Amino acid sequence: MLCQPWKGDELLQGAKSLNERIKRSCIGAYILAACIGCGAGDHVVRKVAPGVSYHRIHVLDGPWWIHVIEVDLQSAGNEGIELRTSSASSERGGVERTSALAKNALAGVNGDFFFTKEKSHTAGLLVRDGILIQPPQRRSALIFSRSGRPIIGAFKAKFGVVLADGSALPISGFNRAPDENEFTLYNVHARTQYDSIRAALGFQLQSIAGQSILNDTVSARVLQLRRQAWPLVIETGQWLIAAGSRAVKAHFISPGDTLQLFGRLPPAQRPIFEALGGGPRILRDGSISIEYERERLSRAFAEDRHPRTAVGYTQNQSVLFLVVVDGRQPGYSVGMTLEELAHFMRTQLGNFSLSKENAYQGLNLDGGGSSTMVVEGEVVNSPSDQTGERPVANALVIAGVQ
């Protein structure tokens, strides 16, 4: 959804009274528990690919239209099918429709919240092909390791570089100018934001071995030193470390030096392949846990009914669910509160899923007019904007072998 920092367009719908929200949440949970499976309308299942299926579920008593992509990660992985992130081109202002972002994928849903100042960009963590695009912020995110196992958590970025003499420099920022006492790191994705760099000192690095520094270490050689201001030219496999005026005095670096560049995203420990932010977390270790306050979202955002997009996975991390609930369409589908969404994913998904399992961990993604699901190139849900499918910053897609 189009948003100011940490706000969604759901907030523009107006807050209902607390009593109304509590009453509706309780009624919605009761309807879900009592009617899904016995008062449901249609449930249609379509096989998309090995290990990948699409479910269309109609619940009369909402009414709700619910769309679910179910992925058996092992079966799909055996066929080279992966969960990937897809980002909008900066040449298109940083936003594209989910159907465009999932054009070459088997299926996909819209992703994280995003900002719309000048060129749009994602609000939270974003990693593609092991390369960091946006560091984590205040909210939860979904990450995938190289093994293909998902993890939902609140991650913190820590970067550093070990110099040729063995001393270590902490890196305080990513793809931004350093303060006078800081070192900051730029990678190839900085080219979408900057044409030039201003810093007391910059040293450009070329990878010797490896490209991903997320929960890993890369050996790199210093190509050149730059001072004050210079055009930003960074290729794939290169980085730039920029130093503030006071930070630069304490260290000496020369062209040709070999450095060790590293990044950490605790609590994750393994190298990270893909990652996408969202918020708030709605399922934690098998319990409904609507963490909107911790993630600095409003009560109205959580307790009003809206179109929703979410991701979840089973206790053994073997089955992934992508969920979209249509909303803001009276008589067709009214949307869900986060409590209703979490309740459906935790207690009712197993009634429909081929795995017969419910979600054990769950994360809300961008919703409202952004909520879109695409299956084999077709938008299968009913986006709520009057203009149709909304352009977004990124998507979570199920990618097959090209």
| The pLDDT value given to residue 17 | 37
Q: Are residues 172 and 204 in the same domain?
A: yes
Q: Are residues 248 and 314 in the same domain?
A: no
Domain that holds residue 381: 2-153+270-399
Q: Are residues 186 and 107 in the same domain?
A: no
What residue ranges of the chain have pLDDT lower than 70?
1-40, 91-92, 117-120, 249-250, 402
- The total number of structural domains in the chain stands at 2
Residue whose entry in the numeric block shows the structure tokens 């190298």: 271
266 Cβ contact list (under 8 Å, min separation 6): 155, 156, 158
* 338-379 residue pLDDT tens: 999 999 999 999 999 999 999 999 999 999 999 999 999 999
87 vs 122: CA distance, rounded Å: 9
The closest alpha carbon to 276, from 66, 117, 107, 133, belongs to 133
User: CB-hemisphere CA count at 13 Å for 4?
Assistant: 3
Q: Are residues 243 and 277 in the same domain?
A: no
326 vs 62: CA distance, rounded Å: 11
Q: Are residues 346 and 309 in the same domain?
A: yes
Q: Are residues 101 and 235 in the same domain?
A: no
DSSP for 115-126 reads E-SSS-EESS-E
CB-based contact 132:85 (threshold 8 Å):
no
| The pLDDT value given to residue 53 | 99
| The pLDDT value given to residue 92 | 66
Boundary-marking domain end, from 228, 247, 264: 264
62 Cβ contact list (under 8 Å, min separation 6): 28, 31, 333, 334, 336
Q: pTM for this structure?
A: 0.88
Q: Are residues 181 and 255 in the same domain?
A: yes
Identify the DSSP state of 348.
Answer: I
| The pLDDT value given to residue 272 | 92
| The pLDDT value given to residue 397 | 98
| The pLDDT value given to residue 402 | 62
| The pLDDT value given to residue 30 | 41
| The pLDDT value given to residue 253 | 87
| The pLDDT value given to residue 212 | 83
Q: Are residues 200 and 287 in the same domain?
A: no
Q: Are residues 248 and 350 in the same domain?
A: no
53 Cβ contact list (under 8 Å, min separation 6): 45, 46, 47, 69, 70, 354
Boundary-marking domain end, from 196, 231, 264: 264
Tokens found for residue 268: 């994750």
Q: Are residues 28 and 144 in the same domain?
A: yes
8 vs 387: CA distance, rounded Å: 18
CATH of the domain at 235: 2.60.120
Q: Are residues 241 and 365 in the same domain?
A: no
| The pLDDT value given to residue 5 | 33
Boundary-marking domain end, from 218, 242, 264: 264
Q: Are residues 52 and 117 in the same domain?
A: yes
